[in-house]
Structure 1
Amino acid sequence: MGWKILLPQEIMEEGEQLLRDAGHTLIKGRGFESEDVKADFEEYQPDAIIVRITKMTREVLKANPNLKCLVRHGAGYDTVDLETCREMGVQTLYAPVANSTSVAETALLLMFEMSRNVTVLHKTWVDDFYKAKLKVRKNTLNGKTLGLIGCGNIGSRVAKRALALEMNVLAYDPYKPAKDFPDGVEVVRDIDRIFNESDYVSLHAPSTSVTKGMITMDRLKQMKDTAFLINTARGALVDEDALYEACRDGIIAGAGIDALKQEPVDPKNPLLTLDNVIMYPHIGGNTTEAAHRASYFAAMGVNECYEGKNPTWPIPQIDYETAPTYDDVKKPNTKPAGMFDF
């Protein structure tokens, strides 16, 4: 007979078609705020939900004791109360590779924009063409050092693209053996090296008890005053007050941000006032291509649960406080081009 599946937000047609063809009933939700989903849960008692941006709190989840499967339409799952899901016996899935390339491209886009000082250029060039052309700071990525914190699906893609730009790439990920890092990356086990040596520090870690608030003023002070922080991961990783002070006072050169603690952004967020900070509305994974993949993979996950199969992408149950870590290292095989290598 199929399941009743709640869609608080629309998904792409191929995902809906997969579910309809499998005999499921799709319920278009009244909205994506938590209170909307809670009301739909209470009214329809669906068997499954594909959730995009809704915060799935304990209160919301408990409104539907019939829930069997929850799928995150994307890679992040910090908005889902996984403990309550486990308590209720709800299978939790996600789509970790659907938007990885899109987020990796966004990290590189922010690096390019910071390297060319585009905010200052936009404000300058019409009124003072020659100042914009000749006086505003502009740099190349070639030969610079990129430090990655986290080298999973997204971080690995950033690494490969940065290597193609002839950057040096350092990567810190204590939960990954050296053999699994991309070739050409220098694996480092001392996180201080990432902050001390990098021209760009790019965050690609989930929000966990270990990583929340990891970017402190002390960490920012470890960075070069010519270096940039890039965050396309989770806003919770960064102390935004410290980041504001560091960018305002020249402790670091600037920041490219696609994830904030509060979303939508508070119009009074002081980071919005700085010319050396570029902020996006968390759009790293929101390309058309990523949406097609995420919708299909999410629908596939629901149907796998319905059919009693082992799902392809269950949300990992990891205790990062006790998870095994690695201390082996790997040096890059090649040296990227320097500024005088032609």
Structure 2
Amino acid sequence: MAWKILLPQEIMSEGRKLLEDAGHTIIDGRGFEPEDVLADFKEYQPDAMIVRITPISREIIESNPNLKVIVRHGAGFDALDVKACHDNNVQALYAPVANSTSVAETAMLLILEMSRNVTVLHKTWVDDFYKAKLKVRKNTINGKTLGLIGCGNIGSRVAKRALGFEMNVMAYDPYKPACDFPEGVEVVRDLDRIFKECDYVSLHCPNTPVTKNMVNKERLAMMKPTAFLINTARGGCVDETALYEACRDGIIAGAGLDAIQKEPVDPKNPLLTLDNMIIYPHIGGNTTEAAHRASYFAAMGIQEVYEGKAPTWPINDVDYKTAKTYTDTKKPDTKPAGMFDF
């Protein structure tokens, strides 16, 4: 017997087609706020759901005893109560590689925009062309050091792109053995080294009890006054009050963010007042190509469970405080790029 599948938000055509061709009934939700999903669950009792931006709580999950599968349309799943899924025998899935390239490109875009002081240039060049051209700070990223916090699907892609720009790359990821990091990356096990030594610190880690507010006043104070923070991961990893003060007071040179703690942004958020700050509306993974992949992979996950197969991308319970960690290191084989290496 085919399933009823709820879509609180539309997915791309190939994902929908996969499910319809398999005989499933698609329910287009009344909206994507939590109360909308709760109402749809109570009315339709769907077997499965693909969720894009709606936070899914235990209350929602337990309102539908018929629920078998929830798929996150993308890589992040901190807005889904995974434990509640597993407590209620609901399979939780995601699509971790669907938007990895798009997020990696966004991280590089923010690195480049911060290096060229884009916000100040935009505000300056029409009224004072020569000031913008000759006096506004601009830097190359060649020879600079990028520090990655997290080197999974996305962090690894950022590393490879940064190496292509002739940056030096250091990476911290305690849950990954050194042999699995990309070639050319220096693997470090001391997180503080990333903050102290790097010109750009880029976050590619989930929001967990271990990483929550990991970027705090103390760690921002470790950074060079010429360094930038880049966050395309989760807003909860950064203490925003500390970041605002660090950028305002010149403790660091600035920050490029695609994730903040409260989304949509509060118009009164003081981060919006800073010229050395760029903030995107969490669009790193929202390219057309990524949406096509995520929709198809999400639908594929539902069909795998429906057919009794082991799903390709299950979300597993991980206790990051007790998870296995590694202490081995690795240095790149090539010498670091220099300012005068042409």
What TM-score bracket applies, with the shorter chain setting the length?
over 0.9
String of CA shifts for 1:210-236, please: whole Å, max 9, x gaps: 001101000000000000000000000
2:78 aligns with: 78
Query: Which residue of the partner structure matches residue 313 of structure 1?
Result: 313
SS at match of 2:208: coil
User: Are 1:255 and 2:245 counterparts?
Assistant: no
Is this contact kept in 1: 2:75–2:97, CA < 8 A? yes
Instruction: Please report how far the alpha carbon of residue 316 of structure 1 lies from its aligned counterpart in structure 2 after TM superposition.
Output: 2.3
User: Could you tell me which residue of structure 2 aligns to residue 177 of structure 1?
Assistant: 177
TM-score by length of 2: 0.99
Once the two structures are superposed, the pairs formed by residues 26-65 of structure 1 within 5 Å of their partners are: 26-65=26-65
Residue of structure 2 in register with 1:159 after alignment: 159
Contact 1:6 1:29 in 2 (8 A): yes
**Separation in 1, partners of 2:172, 2:66:** 42
Q: Structure 2 counterpart of 1:225, which letter? A: P
The aligned amino acid for 1:107 is A
Residue identity opposite 1:289 in structure 2 = E
Counterpart-to-counterpart distance in 2, 1:109 and 1:83: 35
Would you identify which runs of 4 or more consecutive aligned residues in structure 1 move more than 2 Å?
Answer: none
Unaligned segments of structure 1, at least 5 residues: none
CA-to-aligned-CA distance 1:80-137 (integer Å, 9 cap, x gap): 1111111110000000000000000000000000000000000000110000000000
Q: Counterparts of 1:164-243 in structure 2 under 5 Å?
A: 164-243=164-243
Q: Deviations over 1:265-313 (max 9, x none)?
A: 0000000000000000000000000000000000000000111100000
Aligned 8 A contact 1:99 1:294 in 2: yes
Matched residue type, 1:192:
D
Give distance in 1, aligned partners of 2:341 and 2:88.
60
The more displaced of 329-338 and 4-13 is 329-338
Structure 2: give runs of 5+ residues left out of the alignment. none
Cα distance in 1, alignment partners of residues 150 and 321 from structure 2: 16
How far off its partner does 1:60 sit? 1.2
2:333 is the counterpart of 1:338: no
Work out the CA distance in 2 between the residues paired with 1:153 and 1:115. Answer: 24
1:256 counterpart SS class: strand
Is 1:277 the counterpart of 2:277 in the alignment? yes
Deviation at 1:45, TM superposition (A): 0.1
- Separation in structure 2 between the aligned mates of residue 83 and residue 317 of structure 1, nearest angstrom: 7
- Residue 337 of structure 1 and its aligned partner are, at CA, apart by 2.5
C-alpha separation in 2, matches of 1:9 and 1:334:
47
CA distance in 2, matches of 1:58, 1:190: 36
Distance in structure 2 (CA, Å) of the matches to 1:279 and 1:195? 21
Q: Percent identity?
A: 78
Contact 2:83/2:317, CA 8 A, preserved across alignment: no
Contact 2:106/2:284 (<8 A) preserved: yes
SS at match of 1:146: strand
CA distance in 2 between partners of 1:163 and 1:335 (Å): 12
Q: Which moved more, 1:232-241 or 1:78-87?
A: 78-87
TM-score by length of 1: 0.99
Please give the secondary structure, in 2, of the residue aligned with 1:329. Answer: coil
CA distance in 1 between counterparts of 2:100 and 2:83 reads 26
One-letter identity of the residue aligned with 1:216: N
Structure 2 CA distance for aligned equivalents of residues 121 and 324 of structure 1: 46
Q: CA RMSD in A?
A: 0.6
Which residue does the alignment assign to 2:111? 111
1:289 aligns with 2:289: yes
Task: Note the C-alpha offset of 1:62.
Answer: 1.5
Equivalence for 2:147: 147
Pairwise CA distance, 1:180: 0.1
